[in-house]
Each structure stands twice: as C-alpha cells, then as structure tokens.
Amino acid sequence: MLETDQCVKIALEAIQNACIILKKRRYPLEKHFKDSAYGIKEAVTRIDIDINRSIMNHIKENTPGDIIIGEEISFNSEKSSKNVWLIDPIDGTRSLIKDQPGCSVMISMLSDHVPVMSVIHDIYADLTICAILNRGVFICSGKSFVRMTMAKKYEKKILWNPFANENFKKIIAEKLNMEMICHAESTGLRAFLMAKGCGTIFLSLPKSARIWDTAPAFVIISEIGGQYTDLSGNNLIFDHNRPVHENGAVATIGMDHQKVLASITPCLTY
C-alpha cells in the first residue's frame, strides 16, 4: 500500500494529463445525455470520458490492485484493497459546456471508507488544491505546496450550484435568512470557497450527490473544522458499492449545524 504523499503525487500527475486533454477542447463540445441517479437527464461530454479514462489508466499503472471508481468508467481490482480511488472527471459539466467558470477535475481517495486525500483542479482559474486529512489544505504550484491560510471570518452566505432550482434556492435563503451566491457548480470548488471564507453553508439534495462529488469536499471541510453530514445529521457514508447519497449532504461552518438541518428539512417537499 502506498503512503498518502505518494498517492498525492500520482493524483497530481493525473491532473496534469487531464489538463492536456482540456487544452485541446473545441466548442461546441460533443455530448450525449445519460439517466442520472435522481431521474433527470445528465450531460456527458467526450472530455468527461477521455479524462476519466486517462486518470484511471494512470492510477492503474502506479497502484495496481487498488479499486478505482469513476463517474463514467471504473476499475474493480480482483485484489482486496482498503484504498479506493474516486474520479470526477468534470465536476460541473454544464458549466464546461457553457464555457463558464465553476467546474473542476477531482480525484480523491478513501482508506477504509474514509476520505483521506483529495486533489481538485479549478479548470478556469488553472489552480490546483490539495487536501490531506489531518494535515491541511494546500495550493499546488508546480512541485511546491503552499499551506492555505484559513479564513478567520466566514461570510454568512449560501454557496449554491448556479443550476439548482431557483424557487428552492429562494425558499432556503428565506428560511435561513441568508444571502445566496452562485459561484460554482463544482462541489469541491464550493468547499474551497468556504475555506476562503466566502460562505457558511452549501448543500446537495437527496440523490443529487455521489461519493466522487462529496469525498473531495469532505477532506477540505474536515480540515477547516466544518461539519458535513446528510440531511438527517448522520455521518456521510462513503461506500463505493452504493455511491449515491440517498439523503443528500449539507456542509456548514460557523453555524449551528442542527438548526440549519431543522430549517432545511421541511423545505424538501418543494
């Protein structure tokens, strides 16, 4: 089994390969639609598939025996391994299709069902963030790592996916008496924005988030001292055999997490 630092190195190399694919993209992007876990059609581009395959192959070459779960393509090793790699080739495909910020490439790793490492590349900012459980959040520049300075104050705002239902966003904002901002479709980038102090809450509705969405964010939220649970307040379960979070996911910092959940839950009938 490889040490965490070696896994980070492998993930960063895979991100560099993904960036090469991204630089070759031409608009309009070739895409098709698949059925999502929550009953709507979900866009998939050729870039999603090519990046998923590229990252998966790089991990396979360097960590034979590990399980690799990608949003589009997976590799289940015949060997038993406590390490599970998660790939979200484009977290925020709709943003990429529209050629707008808010999307990322994300790689994370579970060890005994706990997210321990994540690497998130902000496509439009050309910025790579690395989070390691119990060690911190870092900005990657070339081969150097700069520890991120955590925010001392967090703006009381809801970090929304810009493509979320507008009526629901307004209902939640009124219920919590909070301003909402829509900076990023990517869950990982919303966690990064929270770490920078840009907001105090973000959420995913039931069945709308998968473990490759939430695991990268989980490491960041853990490192900044926030809470990230399902909508009932239970710990998020990271099971690669059941990747969908049936009961959604809510992250908060600097707020009474249970009160936030109590306010949100009645709104889920809308």
Tens-place pLDDT, residues 19-78: 999 999 988 887 777 765 444 557 788 999 999 999 999 999 999 889 999 999 998 866
| The CATH number of domain 157-269, selected from 3.30.710.10, 3.40.190.80, 3.40.50.620, 3.30.750.24 | 3.40.190.80
* Mean pLDDT, rounded, for 98-123: 96
pLDDT in tens, 67-106: 999 999 998 866 667 899 999 999 999 999 999 999 999 9
Determine the pLDDT at residue 4. 86
Domain ranges of the chain: 4-147, 157-269
Determine the pLDDT at residue 250. 97
**Spatial CA neighbour of 110 closest among 86, 87, 128:** 86
**Could you give the residue ranges of the DSSP H alpha helices within 196-232?**
211-223
- CA dihedral angle for residue 109, residue 158, residue 200, residue 217, rounded to 10 degrees: 0
| Alpha carbons within 13 A on the beta-carbon side of 177 | 2
Cβ atoms of residues 195 and 236 within 8 Å: no
Task: Measure CA 129 to chain center.
Answer: 12
Q: How far apart are CA 78 and CA 164, in angstroms?
A: 39
Retrieve residue 112's tokens: 């005994």
Q: Would you state the CATH architecture of domain 4-147? A: 2-Layer Sandwich (3.30)
Cβ atoms of residues 104 and 123 within 8 Å: yes
pTM of the model: 0.93
What contacts 12, CB < 8 A, 6 or more positions away?
Answer: 119, 128, 130, 140
Percent of the chain's residues with pLDDT above 90 = 75
